[in-house]
Amino acid sequence: MKTKQTTNEVNVANKKFMFMQYFSMHKTRVFMSIVWAMFSIVFTTITTIYGAQVIVKVTNGEYLAAIYITIGLCVNQLAKYLFTIFDNLNYFKLQLAVTRQMSFDIVEQSFNISSKAYTDHNTANFTRRIGTDPWKIFGELSRLITLVSQTLNSIIIVAYIAYLNWIIGVCYIACVVVGAIIEKYRRDALRRRYKAQYKNSEVYNSLLNEIIRSERDIKSLNLEKELKHDLTEKFNQSEETQMKNSAWSSNTTILKNSLFWIFMTGILVLSIYLRSVGAITLSTYLILEHNRGYANVLISCIDSFLNIKNEIGLAVERISELYQDDEYPLEKYGKVNRKHIKGKVEFKDVGFTYVTYKQRDEKDVEAEKRANKRRKINASVRTYEEAGRSKVFENLSFEIEPNTTVAFVGKSGSGKSTILNLISKMYTVDNGKVLIDGININNLDKQTLRSSISLVNQFPYIFDMSIKDNLLLAKSDASDEEINSVVKDAALDEFVDTLPNKLDTVVGESGIKLSGGQKQRLAIARALLRKSSIILFDESTSSLDNIAQAQIKKSIDNIKGKSTVVIVAHRLSTIRNVDKIFFLENGKITDIGTFDELFKRNQAFKTIFLAENI
């Protein structure tokens, strides 16, 4: 039986963010919103036209009829308020359903994006797209429904004025056309300006998030002055752009309104003249005078249409970038599924180049988009361009046997951490193969690869929840016996026993209540709970003191022989008991052996070890 695709699956398949599908999932509520908009047009039109009739009746001395119409208008307005109550209930339920699904799908898509893409873009680049833009899209589309009602009502009023006097009607229409042309120019210019403003805002917010997260390091290193200077500079850039955009928008709005009132004054003078020569009645003149603002309302509606188009367009464009494989490369997996991985790892003639990117000039991006539009080329335009390349490996080959513990050693920049990223497929090789149990990792499906490999890096992320809940993230159905076992294997049990709430102790955002060594051991316990066949340690003891380092070493010794353990070591004293050490120099393995073997014959290895123990 064919399963129904989720919205995100459809978006990924089309490599485009198709936001209208989220509304098609709730057709009944959308239909109710449209029906309400139509009723709103009817209620408002009745108020306007019969309000004009009150003027006619009073002018003609038909006071009783004027009173009846006025009471009828009151009933009409009360009915409108009653409909509004029901519409609000429908609106908020629709808003929750659409924005929730949209946000969840964008989060899911962000998980599909490669780690390299996260390296090349700042945090705010993602948070705005996930946390803000879905609400922006829904809010603007909701405004659009209301705006359609206002626009149709204004068109009816302008048509009514044209019915009363065609000369005034033509003047009104000319006023609206000129206003619309001016507003189109304004909005196109503002769209370009706002894109630059959003980018400056992202840079500022990203730095602000980093400062908040690194508060302790900032204080301990006395970096307040320097970071305050950087933050102030980024803030000034962001605010200066926003101020210039606001000033430009305000000034052009004033200019537009000035032109409108000159135009409307001419129409009013013309109305007075027509009344003076008897071309229109007094009641018609009063109606024209009473409703002359509707031309401005119609221009404002056009302004709002263009603004909504720009806001939705920017939000959709920003989210759509997450679905563009060239800008934000997706993780790609094969179809081979293995329930059990033994843990053999092999590199065969692996080549890898690290590519860095920089943001393209906004003018160049816009010029390319305009050129594509002229040529009718339906292709995405990259906002980033290549900044440089650095060759890390060329024809790198080695083998790691199952359930052995090995280490990669070498100077900074020799490619140690890159090997772990290639094993875990955080990075993808340029050429050659990375094999797990003899299978190319590009052919393994996501479930097999991710369940078989765990990575414990130098600064593991610990969530703001209890120790136990942090562990349960790795295996939600883990028993207390399993949790206690991995806590002991990770050498975390003695620390946990000192806590009043034991495993139920909440560790704070980023594990701020834990020391570096405690975070590392909690991350190790989390990896052990997954029962991964391959466990990777990336510089796990480089920032720890000797006592914490010894505890991490004990944790690694406890799991020796149970999984394939690959360690990238900064401190060589932590890898004395590993089965094999690969010594790296300039992206090449120049020596292989045990700790004692390398210490005896490899002078570079010996120098590194002695340097850290002086």
Q: What is the pLDDT of residues 494-528, one digit of tens each?
A: 888 888 888 888 877 667 777 777 787 788 888 77
Q: What is the 8-class DSSP label of residue 533? A: S
- Domains assigned to the chain: 12-321 (1.20.1560.10), 351-390 (no CATH), 398-612 (3.40.50.300)
* pLDDT level of residue 9 (50, 70, 90 thresholds): low
Top mean-pLDDT range of 234-248, 306-320, 399-413: 399-413
Question: Does 174 score more than 70 pLDDT?
Answer: yes
pLDDT, residue 543, reads 47
User: Whole-angstrom Cα distance, residue 317 to residue 191?
Assistant: 12
Lowest mean pLDDT among 72-81, 99-108, 438-447: 99-108
* Cβ–Cβ under 8 Å, residues 417 and 351: no
| pLDDT, tens only, 194-217 | 766 767 776 666 666 666 665 555
Taking alpha carbons only, the member of 18, 262, 277, 307 closest to residue 143 is 307
The encoded tokens of residue 491 equal 């050498």
Instruction: Please state the rounded mean pLDDT for residues 350-364.
Output: 78
Sign of the CA dihedral running 296, 300, 301, 305: positive
Host H or E run for residue 102: helix 63-112
Kindly write down the DSSP assignment for every residue of 205-220, as one continuous string: HHHHHHHHHTHHHHHH
What are 564's strand-pairing partners? Answer: 534
Q: Percent of the chain having pLDDT more than 90? A: 0
* Cβ–Cβ under 8 Å, residues 532 and 563: yes
User: Whole-angstrom Cα distance, residue 165 to residue 364?
Assistant: 51
pLDDT, residue 3, reads 47
Question: Does 1 score more than 50 pLDDT?
Answer: no
| pLDDT, tens only, 30-56 | 788 778 777 777 887 787 777 777 777
Question: Does 557 score more than 70 pLDDT?
Answer: no
The predicted model scores a pTM of 0.63
For residues 169 and 212, which has the higher predicted lDDT (pLDDT)?
169
Instruction: Please state the rounded mean pLDDT for residues 85-108.
Output: 79
Instruction: Please state the rounded mean pLDDT for residues 131-143.
Output: 75
Instruction: Please state the rounded mean pLDDT for residues 115-121.
Output: 69
| Mean of pLDDT over the chain | 76
| pLDDT, tens only, 303-313 | 777 777 777 77
Q: How far is CA 407 from the centre of its chain?
A: 37
pLDDT, residue 48, reads 73
Sign of the CA dihedral running 308, 311, 314, 317: negative
| pLDDT, tens only, 465-493 | 788 888 887 777 888 888 888 788 777 88
User: Whole-angstrom Cα distance, residue 129 to residue 595?
Assistant: 49
Instruction: Please state the rounded mean pLDDT for residues 178-196.
Output: 75
